[in-house]
């Protein structure tokens, strides 16, 4: 029996095994170095987080996309820090394997370095997530560096930046090669552990990926990125209409749910539900 001052070898092995199962910043870098692809999807609730985690998704992004997907808003701009903390805590508490990353909502990255670090630390502490994601590249390099120096793993986000959709003139493909490369390299040199590339021509995103030491995660940026991310509700077909060119529908949950709900309503009206087997004596 191990003494109080001596670690139990079996317990140490169990802890190390659990640590190896959890995806980390190091895991993602190893994937890039080995030319192995990285999977990422979004979650804002416990059940979705469990689905993704148990299915083996590498990273779960608690994105400010919840403003559009969960709240039905036209953009992500109105999402608050407290809302990100609320959803981030729910997702992180449900996950055993995946790396959980939480978005810094608008306009945190534009309110000064000290405030950015303060808010990011608050999110990290209150949610239990492993990292934050921050929209921006060269212009936000100092903030990214400050976050990393504070011990907060940070993913950068370049290309189409939904928080800046009004300034960028809408949801459009981004083609400025010089600016995109400058943003990507600046983020990497500031210490970002990965760079998300959104709505960029495939060849350009592939070129940026080859130029970077850190992993890239693409959405609407072609297959040359080191990994891919989609909004889970888009990928599973929760909406009545198709979302966009870069989204592949792996299911049509809208149709499945619609049929099931109609059947339920019909059974209630006809008296078929509940049956005797579904009732208590």
Which position among 36, 198, 240, 278 bears the catalytic label? 198
Query: Long-range contacts made by residues 165-173, C-beta under 8 angstroms, separation at least 24?
Result: 165/75, 165/76, 165/77, 166/75, 166/77, 171/199, 172/199, 173/199, 173/200, 173/201, 173/220
Question: Catalytic residue at 198?
Answer: yes
Contacts of 243 (CB under 8 A, 6+ apart): 231, 234
* Distances from the Cα of 259 to the Cα of 23, 56, 251, angstroms: 37, 29, 14
Contacts of 16 (CB under 8 A, 6+ apart): none
Contacts of 154 (CB under 8 A, 6+ apart): 120, 131, 132, 133, 134, 144, 147, 148, 191, 192, 193
Active site residues: 198
């Amino acid at each position: 029996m191990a003494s109080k001052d001596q670690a139990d070898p079996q317990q140490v092995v169990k802890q190390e095994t659990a640590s190896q199962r959890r995806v980390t910043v190091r895991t993602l870098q190893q994937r890039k170095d080995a030319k192995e692809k990285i999977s990422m999807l979004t979650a804002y609730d416990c059940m979705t987080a469990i689905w993704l985690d148990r299915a083996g998704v590498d990273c779960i992004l608690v994105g400010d996309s919840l403003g559009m997907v969960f709240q039905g808003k036209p953009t992500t701009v109105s999402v608050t820090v407290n809302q990100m903390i609320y959803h981030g805590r729910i997702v992180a508490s449900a996950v055993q394997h995946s790396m959980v990353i939480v978005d810094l909502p608008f306009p945190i990255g534009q309110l000064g370095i000290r405030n950015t670090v303060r808010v990011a630390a608050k999110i990290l502490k209150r949610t239990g997530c492993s990292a934050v994601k921050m929209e921006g590249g060269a212009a936000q390099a100092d903030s990214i560096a400050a976050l990393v120096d504070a011990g907060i793993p940070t993913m950068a986000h370049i290309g189409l930046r939904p928080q800046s959709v009004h300034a960028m003139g809408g949801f459009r493909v981004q083609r400025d090669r010089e600016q995109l490369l400058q943003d990507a390299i600046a983020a990497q040199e500031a210490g970002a552990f990965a760079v998300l590339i959104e709505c960029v021509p495939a060849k350009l995103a592939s070129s940026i990926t080859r130029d970077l030491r850190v992993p890239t995660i693409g959405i609407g940026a072609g297959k040359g990125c080191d990994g891919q991310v989609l909004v889970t509700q888009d990928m599973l077909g929760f909406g009545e209409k198709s979302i966009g060119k870069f989204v592949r529908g792996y299911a049509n949950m809208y149709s499945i749910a619609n049929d099931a709900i109609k059947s339920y309503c019909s059974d209630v009206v006809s008296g078929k539900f509940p049956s005797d087997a579904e009732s208590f004596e």
